[in-house]
Amino acid sequence: MDHRKSYFIQCLTTLLILFLITAAAAQEEMNNVSLEAACSGSQIEITIELDVQYDLPEGWVGWVVERVPVGICLPTEAICPVTDFPVGAATYTLYDTPDLPDYQHNYRIKGVDADGGRHYMSLPQWPPGWYSHDYIGCGTAPAGRGTISSEPGWTISVVNCPDMCWIESWFLSGDTWILDDLVDTGIVVDLYGTIDANFEGPYIIVESFEIVDDCNAVAADETTWGAVKSMYR
């Protein structure tokens, strides 16, 4: 009985190893893309890694990087010419000087077709549901403005001020405890911190906040946790 059990375990182990090898090989044949943005003095440094192992969609002629500011409604701009896709793996470094250096920006890479149309890189050429983008802020502008909501329940979120082109962030993380007394009060705040853009979608990692008079007001002096508590004494 022990011998048969040992043989069964060996078979399962072999099958698992074969499965992992097959999955790794399939991953190597899949196109991959990543984009990361970082502050570099007065410029934004964008690093792009592309690994093209699989046929691209018919009519695609290259790729481009787009920039759009967060919190102000402006057209999306391309920050580089349309660039040919590499054969295999390649790394690119771009430098951009935004017209609005105080604002946070979203940088994203898209495929470009012969008619100039831009497309997110999705199945079957790229990993499922994947497209690569990054948020970066090197100035003093907030990451979000709105009222604090108790949704989705396991944490809190911001209800964006309308007509101001903030990101659709469905939850907040970081130092969210500093916002506890503002939840569901209707008080408008500017949120400062970073915007992350992983598989959960964009969300704000809160570091500090300011109370503002309304959605279009200029922020008041930075409000501390103690000052917020004193508002309700």
> Would you call the peptide bond into 86 cis, given omega within 30 degrees of 0 as the criterion?
no
Specify whether 195 is located in the same domain as 158.
Answer: yes
What is the residue type of 191?
L
* Predicted confidence (pLDDT) per residue in 33-85, tens digit: 889 999 998 899 999 999 888 888 889 999 999 999 999 999 999 999 999 99
What is the domain range of residue 227? 144-231
β 157-160/172-174 pair status? unpaired
Q: How many domains in the chain?
A: 2
Specify whether 204 is located in the same domain as 168.
Answer: yes
Specify whether 171 is located in the same domain as 95.
Answer: no
How many CA atoms within 13 Å lie on the side-chain side of 138?
16
* Predicted confidence (pLDDT) per residue in 141-175, tens digit: 999 999 999 998 899 999 999 988 999 888 999 99
- Domain end marker among 92, 111, 136: 136
Specify whether 204 is located in the same domain as 108.
Answer: no
Estimate to the nearest angstrom the gap between the alpha carbon of 226 and the chain centroid. 32
Q: What is the pLDDT of residue 27?
A: 41
Tell me the backbone φ, ψ of residue 181, rounded to 5 degrees.
-75, -5
Residue 200's pLDDT band (boundaries 50, 70, 90)? low
162 vs 28, more confident: 162
Q: What is the pLDDT of residue 37?
A: 95
- 18 part of a folded domain: no
- 25 part of a folded domain: no
Q: What is the pLDDT of residue 16?
A: 45
| pTM: predicted TM-score of the whole model, two decimal places | 0.77
- 225 part of a folded domain: yes
- 6 part of a folded domain: no
Q: What is the pLDDT of residue 30?
A: 63
